[in-house]
Amino acid sequence: MEKVKKSSILPIILIIYGVFVAYRGVFSLWKVDSDIAVFPVMIRYFLTEGWSALKTFHFPIDNWFFSIIIPYGIVFHFFGEQSTLLLVLGAVVFCLTAFFAGLLVFKLSSLNQGLWCGALILAAPQIALGRGGFLLYSVAHNASMLWGLFGVLLCFLSIRKQNIFFLILSGVVFSLSSFSDPWMLPVFVLPIIISSFIMFFLESGRKRLFYTVWFFIGLFVIIFSETHCLGLFPISAIYKKGFTSVNLSWKSIIFTSASVSYYFNFIPLLNFNNFYSILLSEEKRNILLYYIAMVINFFIFFSIVYALIRSIKRKYIFFERENLFVFILFILSILGIFSASVVFKGVNNIRLARYIVNIYYALIICVCLLPWKSMDPSIRKKFYALGFLFLSASILSNKSVWKGPALLSSFDVENEVISFLNNEQIQYAYGDYWGVEAHTITWKSHYEKVVRPLLYTMDYHGFLPTIWTSPNWYHVPSSQKWVFVLTNLGDDRVCPPYPSCREAVLNQFGSPLYIKQKHQVTFFVYAGNKMNLPYDINVENWKKPLSISYDSVLSWKDFYPEIELNGNNLISVDGWEWAKHGVVTTEEYATVHVPVLDRSSTLVRMWVHLSSNKMDQLPVDVLYRGKVVAQWVVPSHESIYYLELPIEPGQNSLDYQFHILNYKAKQKPVNGIRMYRVKVLDHGG
């Protein structure tokens, strides 16, 4: 007993470490965005409007109704809707998922192996906790993993104890959670059906009857999910399922395989937190290095899966056959989600790695279920070595979590919009789901300012309501003003076939009462009866595009006449540039030289394009005439900033500088490359 206690000290320490990293991680890796803020907004709306609101609400396919909306609604009722709580819920879900995984292994094997299972799961790399795997995100498939593992635990107990109550309860859990997120079907339900079918031929007596029952329960869960609770709870889904038609492509194969490195990195000195920014940098040498690392990680992952599959042949290593049932279930879960992602193009982008999050839990559970005492010593040493490499890489990747909250984006669009609405005494506004953070503003203003999301749709040639909205949210009383908010970031920059999204707004909603510009945000102020949106809940009625006649389209220049530069050759930048080959050491300052075209003006307005290939955002001071006139952040993606600079009458040109704060002259070849570029896109005197 003393030996067992000593062997449990290390996993307990790792569990404590993992819980603290999870708590710190939610504040340094995430903020309350529209996908999180919509839940308190939506729950409050449902409680106010009742059943009729549910029937007309625009849910996505993964509606999260029973798995997230109801549990979170209970939490909000007792503890409120504070931002801290909204973020911490992600860490709570992650820790509970690790707990149920460890408890399952404990019930199947031993306490020590259960502790190691929980410890390895909690020791996730930062990219898995953050925007790679979304393990700490409050609203993601990780919540479905929590319900799925809880259901598997009940399923296992129902078979071992031959308990009808556990069987019924587990069936209810799988039915409601699969309806809430159909992702559960290939990850848990189909593996249960196949595993039950296999175990039917390996078992006998009463247990064979239970496997037969579970086979049909699995079929019932699929029908229950696909028919929306047998037709009792029809939901309105705007977008069709992504996993509906075969679409095999090399792109899906590559990205699905590459996504493994977001969860399992066995190369401690290589930090995948910077991988996406490395891709943007177009640095061939570093991209090749990361791709080689991904191939190595995938090869190790595939070798482990292959070893696990081979171990199934040695059935005698499992003390009881229901242990084999769970083992096969998780192997099929790994193979199932990989097959679905590749065949149905589920992961066609490196940022969609969250759709295969089950491989992280399933692989660790299966490895911890192996018979370590009877295992061949040489194989056991290889597993120990891989475990050490995985833990080392994960711990090193989480160093930045302890440095405090992440830097905010280049400007706080939510506060900009709230400030404008307060100053203009306007209550209603509409804007991009992400660029404007519409739901976040509604929640952040304590529902005093109502901002609803609209998304530009190329097929429609206009702005439409998005998911997580109600058609009742798009009616403004004719006596009140409302605002369309347009930023110069993300999706708000491109609205084909219009020259810009500004023309798209003017064409759909007509001439506004007035327009105001503040930093990177444009406010189009309309009266309530001017709105032009399709209110019909039937998505088919949205497919007819708005008519576009460029003879009648209002031009942005009708409101803001601008003097455009003939190309960018008149603008020169000293100090920063794109890297052509290898590692580039940039300078601390960059100077932009801009000609003044209207010499009678006292003000120069311009849009500045600024980007970086570094995932960590860096603060930058904008210097003009020796003074700091603006403070921006160099993001990992491309952003556009608005800048106004005063000039003297008759001035021919002006110079201003960018100064990188916390600049480091010496950069590491792989993780420390910093490249920037400045490009003045538009200029008016």
Per-residue pLDDT, 350: 62
Task: Please report where in the chains the tokens 């065949």 appear, as a residue.
Answer: 343
In the chain, what are the domains? Answer: 2-30+61-403 (no CATH), 413-558 (no CATH), 572-684 (2.60.120)
pLDDT tens sequence across 407-456: 444 346 788 899 999 999 999 999 888 888 899 999 999 899 999 998 88
Q: Stretch 618-642: mean pLDDT, rounded?
A: 74
Q: What is the pLDDT of residue 363?
A: 96
Tell me the two tokens of residue 205.
């007596």
pLDDT at residue 494, as a whole number = 67
The per-residue pLDDT for 236 is: 56
**pLDDT for res 395:** 92
pLDDT one-digit tens code per residue, 307-356? 988 887 665 445 567 788 999 999 999 998 888 887 766 555 666 788 89
pTM of the model: 0.82
- The answer for 561, left when phi > 0, alpha when psi is -120 to 50, beta otherwise, is beta
Using the predicted structure, report yes or no on whether residue 303 has a pLDDT greater than 70.
yes
Q: Which residues pair with 522 in a beta bridge?
A: 486, 517
More confident position, 28 or 249 = 28
Residue-wise pLDDT tens digits, 373-383: 878 888 899 99
Residue 148 has pLDDT above 90, yes or no: yes
Assign 670 a pLDDT band (cuts: 50, 70, 90).
very low
Residue 16 CA to its chain's centroid (Å): 26
Which two tokens mark 339? 């097959």
Distance CA 336, CA 305 (A): 13
Least reliable range by pLDDT among 108-122, 253-267, 370-384, 624-638: 624-638
Half-sphere exposure of 604 (CA within 13 A, CB side): 28
Distance CA 240, CA 238 (A): 7
End-to-end CA distance of the chain: 81
- List pLDDT tens digits, range 581-612: 333 335 677 777 777 766 777 877 776 666 55
According to the per-residue pLDDT averaged within each range, which of 281-290, 390-399, 463-472 is highest? 390-399
Check pLDDT > 80 for residue 626: yes
pLDDT of residue 104: 96
Mean pLDDT of the chain: 79
Q: Give the mean pLDDT of 20-34.
A: 90
